Structure 1
Amino acid sequence: MTAAAEIESSPETGEDILAVARRQVLERGAGLSEEQILAVLRLHDDRLEELLSLAHEVRMKWCGPEVEVEGIISLKTGGCPEDCHFCSQSGRFPTPVRSAWLDIPGLVRSARETAETGATEFCIVAAVRGPDTRLLSQVRDGIKAIREDGNDINIACSLGMLTQEQVDELVAMGVHRYNHNLETAKSHFSNVVTTHTWEERWETLRMVGEAGMEVCCGGIIGMGESVEQRAEFAAQLADLGPDECTMNFLIPQPGTPYENYEIVEGKDALRTIAAFRLALPTAIVRFSGGRELTFGDLGTRQGMLGGINAIIVGNYLTNLGRAPSADLDMLDELKMPIKALSDTL
């Protein structure tokens, strides 16, 4: 066996890893193990198209052709006390972002504009360690105003780490899904964040899932992690079993410790997306921050044909995205229908 073949074989059986994935994931719906994910991440570039094709088949069989569209809005921007090294909203770094709050009319207007794109999810995000009384009151008033505006879009939230009481409050408000990213592998987390732990994030996700909200959890690729740690991270997400996995790629932000990090190379990013799909065959896998910078238009199309089945349209929290119409036109050209609101309820 050649060295290349050894790299591309299953660690359990020595069989070609894509043949194993086809049988295990495509046919049975069982995600790859950490060792198997690592073998996929080590595949040579000349097998990338084969890998992407298999990931697309898995997505189509276990999730269907529909694409879930989501918009996000920052209710509270900047001034966060945490030191997440990738984030321009941290108050600990000399970034251009300053603290600001969005008023309720602005929140309602953003939700309306999001619904008009055909999106079924609207995520309210705040740059905080966790929500205080003022923030939860603002979220409550905002959701009430969105409903009074006649908008029945699903409301998601991303408000940091929660207590059980706060989880229960969000459930009572009718929050459909909660986003709280683990960000990276457990073994790498302390290199990315020092003001809280990976375990604290995990505990919030556990409470959210047990309370009946859908769990949205992913992370950021390109923060200095090794390929082994990417495989570790995918396997840890599979253990969590999120309803949705967000795939972000590092945008080096001025003033942060990661401002000079290199952008993830497109082929490497596509290989990672496909590997995560093979680890999470039934989850929503969403294109999120950094895709414009990492992929460009052509790579975005390849990702949509390589395991992705959800997308954020419009701008991100502190970075501009593409015009929603550009993404919607792309989905139309790819003949990928947008998931209807009735299908998400």
Structure 2
Amino acid sequence: MTDILADILGLAREQVLEQGIGLSQEQALECLQLPDDRVDALLDLAHEVRVKWCGDEVEVEGIVSLKTGGCPEDCHFCSQSGVFDSPVRSAWLDIPSLVRAARETAATGASEFCIVAAVRGPDERLMKQVRDGVAAIQAEVEINVACSLGMLTQAQVDELAEIGVHRYNHNLETARSYFPSVVTTHSFDERINTCEMVRAAGMELCCGGIVGMGETLEQRAEFGAQLAALAPDEVPLNFLNPRPGTPFGEQEPMSATDALRAVATFRLMMPRTILRFAGGREITLGDLAERGVRGGVNAVIVGNYLTTLGRPAGEDLAMLLDLKMPIKALAKNL
């Protein structure tokens, strides 16, 4: 068995590193099943793949919640759902506060600023707030603006593209086969539909999800394959941070070693994709976050997340400096 598992690294070196062809679902499962004493070799290979096919730069992003809490959906991991008895309550951010957050994000060296809203999909009030917010940010701050506003109609997709939103985030969250155990108020196909419209409109697609929600290793490999099939520009990789009052609130966080296996495996499945460390890495990886960055990650969210605390931006920037990983400069879309 050990020889078979070791062979997957040799195969991945030839297929992914040399040819740039991502691992299949079956091959990814072999990586996820590697024994602990082979994880460092897996991470080292993922780092080589990242440098060869993506370069050595790291993209830095900040996020802000325009509309927090009160979401009608029942995503079992999310404290912003209005369905559960969660401490998060509904709130809106005004435009001056949005611009201030974008300015503070840009000051960290970030090239990305993502406006997020806890909704099934945007209504006209939210779309107006986004229109005004994007215009105000573009007038005052040199930073790329992204959005995450839930499921969209074709008209909303077209409008976001027209006002200059260059990247849209809409996560699959988990594998199709596990999705009904995570969300029941909308379908996996509804998420896929929004993602496909975003790509067709010319915006970059940011699409990832959360690992460690109780899925099997087979489902984790399935999830990676379904993401790879969408060919997103960016994959934010979150690790479950159990939130009080949610159905997943009592789950144990996944182990750091399993998280590192997932990071490296997703890199080998998507060699050219921006792979971003997102929520949950602080409690899951702790001091091993640096090892994860050296294992295929080439983007990080700095500062806090939507309802949970992240690491101070200065700590992440210092880590990247120590690792001699240059921060990607702002590249304005023409």
> What TM-score results when the alignment is normalised by the length of structure 2?
0.99
Q: Deviations over 1:51-84 (max 9, x none)?
A: 0000000000000110000000000000000000
**Letter of the structure 1 residue corresponding to residue 292 of structure 2:** G
2:22 pairs, out of 31, 34, 37, with 31
CA distance in 1, matches of 2:104, 2:42: 36
The equivalent of 2:3 in structure 1 is: 5
The equivalent of 2:329 in structure 1 is: 340
The equivalent of 2:85 in structure 1 is: 94
SS at match of 1:285: strand
Residue 344 of structure 1: how far off its partner (Å): 7.1
1:200 pairs, out of 166, 169, 190, with 190
CA distance in 1, matches of 2:13, 2:48: 9
Check if 1:81 corresponds to 2:75: no
**Letter of the structure 2 residue corresponding to residue 336 of structure 1:** M
2:144/2:332 contact within 8 Å kept:
no
CA distance in 1, matches of 2:86, 2:229: 35
Residue 148 of structure 1: how far off its partner (Å): 2.2
SS at match of 1:156: strand
Quickly say closer, same or farther: Cα 1:84–1:180, change in 2 above 3 A.
same
SS at match of 2:324: coil
CA distance in 1, matches of 2:143, 2:306: 20
- Pairing of 1:121-160 with structure 2 (within 5 A): 121-149=112-140, 151-160=141-150
The percent identity for this pair of structures is 67
2:41 pairs, out of 47, 50, 64, with 50
Q: Deviations over 1:231-261 (max 9, x none)?
A: 0000111111000001000010000000100
2:166/2:333 contact within 8 Å kept:
no
CA distance in 2, matches of 1:147, 1:233: 35
**Letter of the structure 1 residue corresponding to residue 156 of structure 2:** Q
Residue 145 of structure 1: how far off its partner (Å): 1.1
Q: Deviations over 1:118-143 (max 9, x none)?
A: 00000000000000000000000011
The equivalent of 2:98 in structure 1 is: 107
CA distance in 1, matches of 2:93, 2:297: 31
SS at match of 1:130: coil
1:120/1:344 contact within 8 Å kept:
no
Residue 336 of structure 1: how far off its partner (Å): 0.3
Question: Once superposed, which parts of structure 1, at least 4 consecutive aligned residues long, lie more than 6 Å away?
Answer: none
The equivalent of 2:319 in structure 1 is: 330
Aligned residues: 334
Quickly say closer, same or farther: Cα 1:257–1:155, change in 2 above 3 A.
same
Check if 1:242 corresponds to 2:219: no
RMSD value, Cα: 1.0
CA distance in 1, matches of 2:116, 2:86: 19
**Letter of the structure 2 residue corresponding to residue 121 of structure 1:** E
Residue 146 of structure 1: how far off its partner (Å): 1.1
2:12 pairs, out of 8, 14, 21, with 21
| Gaps in structure 1 of 5+ consecutive residues | 10-15
CA distance in 1, matches of 2:55, 2:138: 30
**Letter of the structure 2 residue corresponding to residue 54 of structure 1:** L
SS at match of 2:132: helix
